[in-house]
């Protein structure tokens, strides 16, 4: 009998397995399909590699914002770019996953399908006895319930990154972070993109940020249709026809291909959870408590299959907690009160903590500040003032509750705000800190000062 079976060989599964092996446990890691999971194979790594490439293309063509500079760039060979992306994926999969297995003597890798029954776990139909189990099977693209979609050859965020030939026109259905990132990437590659969303773009962000990014995408030529419903979708003359309804008006749209980017669904089907006493939500999420325990004794779950904080770093973090608790007695708790999140649009969206609406829902007396990047010296020097910084605080205690950044370099600044929230800092604490001049992160200080000062009347580095 092994000490621990980990089901799923992605980032969460490897995190759990390595943690347990380091603690001296005998671990069996069960993987099905390509090792490495979503992030390295079809998610973070390949998408950000192509997004970064298209940023280089776009910014070269925008260089004339600096007087005296004239530059242009063009996409010469999409297939070559995709091949370079694939090489990077293969290298990281090998180095960060496959090559790690021999480094842990007590870790055994088994390729196959794991399922539950009333007695325990089976791997490839064979009984696999274990003291504890961690489920880390991840998630896959969710397909929306649009009439007739089953008859359409749609792309997902996985298959879209594998395209060898770019379409002339593309529908992107879904205005979340995946839809926005890929819509902008393909538009910068020269594809005519139309983006559809039932609500607004990036609906989980502050409305000021959602409105601003909508405007920036439209300025790049992306057609954005928000606040609509889908009547039907079908193949039509080698392309796709989508019928939508907005404000009572029905409209038909045509494109060569369609990309569905409407979120993720947990990979919990086929595990036998319904007969094993492991509770799930209606959408398939495995229910866990703050210790990452499921409703079945000695079975834990972590990562996207739980529906919690679907970021690769939180999947790994939750899996580490699950492994430590499974082996050492449930002493650790999962805490996502200060989790930074980034959307890799351009400008980037970076957030941590509560939005203004969330803070009010939790009973805080809220105050907020919004700093347009036109007040940030870094943005002025870069001749790119797209974006804003919004801070949310408790009016009574002055404690910082949330920070939300829309900026070309926003992702590199959000960790400072995460540390501030984690340490219980006030807005005044943030305003009093010393920040380096001509950086994006200095905007946090200026946004904090904006609560009670007119930053337009401050000299450089004042305050």
CB 453 within 8 A of CB 428: no
In this structure, what token pair is assigned to residue 119?
Answer: 């007695």
151 is in an annotated binding site: no
Cα–Cα distance for residue pair 416/350, rounded to 1 Å: 11
300 is in an annotated binding site: no
CB 451 within 8 A of CB 393: yes
In this structure, what token pair is assigned to residue 272?
Answer: 């036998």
48 is in an annotated binding site: yes
181 is in an annotated binding site: yes
174 is in an annotated binding site: yes
221 is in an annotated binding site: no
CB 44 within 8 A of CB 169: no
The DSSP bridge pattern shows strands 27-31 and 2-7 to be parallel
177 is in an annotated binding site: yes
Could you say which DSSP state residue 134 is in?
Answer: E
Residue 65 has phi, psi (to 5 degrees) of: -65, -20
**86 in helix, strand or coil?**
helix
143 is in an annotated binding site: no
304 is in an annotated binding site: yes
CB 7 within 8 A of CB 67: no
Cα–Cα distance for residue pair 108/28, rounded to 1 Å: 5
CB 210 within 8 A of CB 349: no
Q: At what angle do helices 414-422 and 442-449 cross, to 10 degrees?
A: 60
Cα–Cα distance for residue pair 406/389, rounded to 1 Å: 6
CB 393 within 8 A of CB 368: yes
178 is in an annotated binding site: yes
User: How does 8-27 read in b/e, with b if 16+ C-beta sit within 10 Å?
Assistant: bbbbbbbbbbbbbbebebbb
8 is in an annotated binding site: no
Residue 161 Cα distances to 10, 41, 78, 90, 141, angstroms: 19, 10, 11, 14, 13
CB 40 within 8 A of CB 13: no
Q: Would you list which residues are annotated within the binding site for FAD? A: 48, 304
Q: Would you list which residues are annotated within the binding site? A: 48, 174-181, 263, 304
Q: Would you list which residues are annotated within the binding site for NAD(+)? A: 174-181, 263
């Amino acid at each position: 009998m092994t000490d621990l079976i980990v089901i799923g060989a992605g980032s969460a599964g490897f995190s759990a397995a390595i943690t347990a092996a380091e603690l001296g446990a005998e671990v069996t890691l069960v993987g099905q399909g390509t090792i490495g999971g979503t992030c390295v194979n079809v998610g973070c790594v390949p998408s950000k590699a192509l997004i970064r490439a298209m940023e280089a293309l776009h910014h070269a063509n925008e260089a004339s914002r600096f007087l005296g500079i004239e530059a242009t760039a063009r996409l010469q060979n999409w297939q070559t770019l995709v091949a370079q992306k694939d090489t990077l994926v293969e290298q990281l999969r090998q180095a960060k996953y496959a090559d790690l297995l021999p480094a842990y003597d007590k870790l055994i890798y088994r390729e196959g399908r794991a399922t539950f029954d009333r007695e325990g776990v089976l791997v490839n139909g064979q009984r696999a006895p274990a003291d504890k189990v961690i489920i880390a099977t991840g998630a896959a693209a969710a397909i929306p319930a649009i009439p007739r979609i089953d008859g359409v050859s749609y792309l997902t965020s996985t298959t879209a990154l594998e395209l060898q030939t770019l379409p002339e026109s593309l529908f992107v259905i879904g205005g979340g972070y995946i839809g926005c990132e890929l819509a902008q990437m393909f538009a910068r590659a020269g594809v005519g993109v139309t983006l559809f969303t039932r609500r607004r773009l990036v609906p989980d962000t502050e409305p000021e940020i959602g409105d601003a990014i909508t405007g920036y995408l439209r300025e790049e030529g992306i057609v954005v249709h928000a606040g609509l419903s889908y009547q039907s979708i079908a193949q039509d003359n080698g392309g796709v026809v989508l019928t939508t309804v907005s404000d009572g008006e029905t409209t038909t749209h045509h494109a060569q291909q369609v990309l569905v980017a409407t979120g993720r669904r947990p990979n919990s089907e086929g595990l036998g959870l319904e007969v094993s006493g492991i509770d799930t939500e209606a959408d398939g999420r495995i229910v866990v408590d703050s210790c990452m325990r499921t409703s079945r004794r000695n079975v834990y779950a972590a990562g996207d299959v739980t529906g919690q904080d679907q970021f690769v770093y939180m999947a790994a973090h939750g899996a580490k907690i699950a492994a430590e608790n499974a082996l050492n007695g449930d002493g650790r708790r999962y805490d996502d009160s200060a989790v930074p999140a980034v959307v890799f649009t351009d400008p980037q969206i970076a957030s941590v903590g509560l939005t203004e609406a969330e803070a009010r829902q939790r009973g805080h007396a809220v105050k907020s500040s919004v700093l347009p990047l036109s007040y940030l010296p870094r943005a002025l020097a870069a001749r790119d003032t797209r974006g804003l910084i919004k801070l949310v605080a408790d009016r009574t205690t002055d404690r910082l509750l949330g920070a939300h950044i829309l900026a070309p370099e926003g992702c590199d600044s959000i960790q400072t705000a995460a540390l501030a929230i984690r340490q219980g800092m006030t807005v005044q604490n943030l305003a009093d800190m010393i920040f380096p001049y001509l950086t994006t992160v200095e905007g946090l200080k200026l946004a904090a000062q904006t609560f009670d000062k007119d930053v337009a009347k401050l000299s450089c580095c004042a305050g």
